[in-house]
Structure 1
Amino acid sequence: MEKQVEAIVEWLRQQLKQSGAKGFVVGVSGGIDSAVVANLIKRAAPENSLGVLLPIYTKPEHMTDSQKVIEKCGIDSLTLDLTESHNVMYSYIQDQLKGKNEFNESTDQLAGANLRARLRMSALYTVATNYNYLVVGTDNAAEWYTGYFTKYGDGGVDILPIVDFTKSEVRELAKYLDVPEEVITKAPSADLWEDQTDEKEMGTTYDRIDAYLGGEEIPEKDKDIIELLHKRSAHKRDPLPQYKRKS
């Protein structure tokens, strides 16, 4: 892990040189992936790294975990509570759709959750522009393969330093980086709605996704779920379709 951390930190520094940016910003959620990234960018740019807490109806325990990560790795921080912004914007959109009798209750939870992720992305880029920083993503290999991220939300970033690492490898990185134990062991959650967890939403576990990505045999049911998630989310990873005009 020491060699891996050193290599990532050097890669991060190269990204700054190539882009002309001054530093890094990451959204800190209280989860293991953002905790690892916060530690990595702090090592890469000690004086020019920022962790941003972006609560939207966020449980106090998630905020507590976020603060523990911030304090332990010593990164500069900023808190932007977007709860009211989300409420005002989504309520307005809902009212307009209801006025046209076209409001779809079956997609209400997902639409509201995706708006949370996209508001957070917008806030991070606003902060990044202020400092001339790069927005650093927190997706790991399992999330990338299954598409477990919001398009133009938490998937809207400049660089992805841990996207080649499985969830189990991220846990090892977290232990090496001395991330708080309660953050390492908590159930992964994107904090998109009440009592939401990643594995409950995906229908499989990170351990099985990691095993599948490593070429191991897993139950057929889990294999089918993983491949379906991968297929459905291809549009998130592929370049945007572009019409080529006729000559």
Structure 2
Amino acid sequence: MNGLDINTDLARSILTGFIRSETTRSGFQKAVIGVSGGVDSAMSCFLAAEALGPENVLAVRMPYKTSSQDSLDHAQLVIDATGVQSVTIPITDMADGLINQFPDMAKLRMGNIMARCRMIVLYDQSSAFGGLVIGTSNKTEILLGYSTQFGDAASAFNPIGDLYKTQLRQLAHAMGVPQVIIDKAPTADLWIGQTDEGELGFTYAEVDKLLYLMVDERYTPDECVEAGYDRKFVETVVKRIQRYHYKRVMPPIAKLGNRTIGYDFLYLRDWGT
């Protein structure tokens, strides 16, 4: 065993319990999940269906005109395997309403618009269905800032955010996520040929081992180099973790008083609960 190996039975029990408690403590019984056909959203959907009952989970497919058919098909595999309710809402018209105003728009801007359009759809469906939006970002993505703020990074709560991609795949195997989804190249499907690892410049398998040393084992960058990692790779990952910290926290509030939200006023227990 290595540090990235997890007890999948224990993780499954903890995460389904987390979903139930976070949903019901907010006065809800249902959940809404954007299902893309990738392993992350598949895992959140499998966990939610087990925690809340498939009748209380709404999976939303949100294709853009350039989305691959595989993404839709694999999302349907998740829907069929879990028995959750589902709806398909294309985002092409709403996204293109802005994209078409800027003919020279870069792919990154287009991708961010698509991600935020999808979150608009999810929160609208949250209101219509009466369920909380469940997150689908894993620990690797969160640490590296590989997400769109107020897009795929947005949710009411996130059951898989403390699982590295490598660990997520272990749990996916244990819970019966279709193998074709586990094995496929991770992609946000924002444009044709786009892959996560192609954009990042390294594989999840490589970076997960390094992140585990840095974050969980608290290795310094120099200690990571001594452990055998290329210094440039280490520096790249460190810079990403530092640069994208703002995506991992609520917007900072300038402190003026004695009880500032996010500094001194932190927990509901402080307010008589």
TM over 0.5: same fold? yes
Asked whether the equivalents of residues 140 and 164 of structure 1 are also in contact (C-alpha less than 8 Å), the reply is: yes
5+ residue gaps, structure 2, are 1-7, 214-223, 258-273
Asked whether the equivalents of residues 190 and 197 of structure 1 are also in contact (C-alpha less than 8 Å), the reply is: yes
2:86 matched residue in structure 1: 77
Shift of 1:198: 0.4
In 1, the alpha carbon distance for the partners of 2:182 and 2:82 equals 14
Asked whether the equivalents of residues 22 and 131 of structure 1 are also in contact (C-alpha less than 8 Å), the reply is: no
In 2, the alpha carbon distance for the partners of 1:189 and 1:182 equals 14
> What aligned pairs does 1:1-247 form with structure 2 within 5 A after superposition?
1-46=8-53, 47-57=55-65, 58-92=67-101, 94=102, 105=104, 108-215=106-213, 217=227, 218-244=229-255
2:268 matched residue in structure 1: none
Per-residue CA deviation, residues 196-247 of structure 1 (Å, 9 max, x unaligned), is 100111112111221012217432222122112112211111331323469x
In 1, the alpha carbon distance for the partners of 2:248 and 2:46 equals 26
2:219 matched residue in structure 1: none
Shift of 1:130: 1.3
Shift of 1:150: 0.3
Shift of 1:132: 2.0
Asked whether the equivalents of residues 54 and 82 of structure 1 are also in contact (C-alpha less than 8 Å), the reply is: yes
In 2, the alpha carbon distance for the partners of 1:152 and 1:3 equals 31
1:30 alignment partner AA: G
- Alignment partner of 1:19: what SS? coil
- Alignment partner of 1:11: what SS? helix
> Cα RMSD over matched residues?
1.7
In 1, the alpha carbon distance for the partners of 2:129 and 2:58 equals 10
Asked whether the equivalents of residues 114 and 150 of structure 1 are also in contact (C-alpha less than 8 Å), the reply is: yes
In 1, the alpha carbon distance for the partners of 2:124 and 2:183 equals 32
Deviates more, 1:223-232 or 1:178-187: 223-232
In 2, the alpha carbon distance for the partners of 1:14 and 1:144 equals 23
- Alignment partner of 1:188: what SS? coil
In 2, the alpha carbon distance for the partners of 1:228 and 1:192 equals 24
Asked whether the equivalents of residues 16 and 22 of structure 1 are also in contact (C-alpha less than 8 Å), the reply is: yes
In 1, the alpha carbon distance for the partners of 2:131 and 2:51 equals 13
Asked whether the equivalents of residues 140 and 165 of structure 1 are also in contact (C-alpha less than 8 Å), the reply is: yes
5+ residue gaps, structure 1, are 96-104
2:233 alignment partner AA: D
Deviates more, 1:209-218 or 1:196-205: 209-218
Asked whether the equivalents of residues 118 and 154 of structure 1 are also in contact (C-alpha less than 8 Å), the reply is: yes
1:72 alignment partner AA: A
Asked whether the equivalents of residues 141 and 162 of structure 1 are also in contact (C-alpha less than 8 Å), the reply is: yes
Deviates more, 1:188-197 or 1:83-92: 83-92
